[in-house]
Structure 1
Amino acid sequence: MSTLSWRKSSFSDAGGNNCIEIAIDSVDIAVRESFEPDTTITTTQITLRDFIRGVKGGRLDHLLD
């Protein structure tokens, strides 16, 4: 991935150091935590979409117990 333009969540704290950041290039999506900017994971738009739908649908709630 080339130089990326990172976007922070609108729910991040005022300092911007407590959030998930996402950057998109032509193929992949990179995800990182703002307090650990050198560590990123990459995924495809389809995979991230399916993950978000699963979270919204409660399919991962059992992991919080």
Structure 2
Amino acid sequence: MKVTIEQDKCVASGQCVTAAMEVFDQRDEDGIVVLLNAEPPADQAEDVRQAAAVCPALAIAVEE
């Protein structure tokens, strides 16, 4: 699994962090998503898929 983000699309809702805090974080100054792990382990895959699904800006892409 490979994860990419588009920070320009991010609306700082924080849903990705709630779904997969091991993979996503938010910048302190504006809340924009930060990718912590572009290739998360298999045990985090479902959380990452959920994060992408709940992102209101569709700023997360997951390549299987």
Q: TM-score range by the shorter chain?
A: under 0.3
Name whichever structure is richer in strand by fraction: 1
Q: Which has the larger radius of gyration?
A: 1
TM-score normalized by structure 1?
Answer: 0.23
Name the structure, 1 or 2, with higher relative contact order (CA <8 Å, separation 6+): 2
